[in-house]
Amino acid sequence: METLIKDLKNRGLSVGALKYHKHGEFEIDIEGKDTWKYAMAGADTVAITSSLKFAVIKNINVPTDIDEICEKYFNDNDIVLADGFTQSDKPRIIVVEKKEDAAIFERGCRVISVTDGNIGDMEIISSNVIESLRFLQ
């Protein structure tokens, strides 16, 4: 499939590659696995499906908007935990090595909780998240 993907890309086509995984559980984008090989060959969209789940990676040339992503892919979730969207104005849980570094990430948004990643903080953080959900409703 990799050779065919490369050839079709060279002919100017946008190429998608879909893999069926018969064993149910899978991971995507693992070096050496088929989905990774398809992506490395140039596929614009790579997806894998099984009887248990579906995953897709799509090359896009537009900015990623957290609201659009959440609306399209997470609309059935009670809460979305997003990592790395530092420019977003969404309420956030800030995880830092030193709590005094948290101010760097606040940027005018609502801070739900600040932690240094200590597992002991998780009950407090979860409670703060649930309280924030009540506040937003």
Say which residue the tokens 């897709």 belong to: 56
In DSSP notation, 18-66 reads: EEE-TTS---SS-TTSHHHHHHHHT-SEEEEE-SS-EEEEE---S---H
The pLDDT tens digits along the chain (137 residues) read: 899 999 999 999 999 999 999 988 888 889 999 999 999 999 999 999 999 999 999 888 877 788 888 888 888 888 777 777 777 777 777 776 766 666 666 666 666 666 666 656 677 777 777 777 666 55
Nearest residue to 57 (alpha-carbon basis) of 70, 67, 47, 69: 47
Name residue 25's amino acid: E
How far apart are the C-alpha atoms of 102 and 131, rounded to whole Å?
A: 21
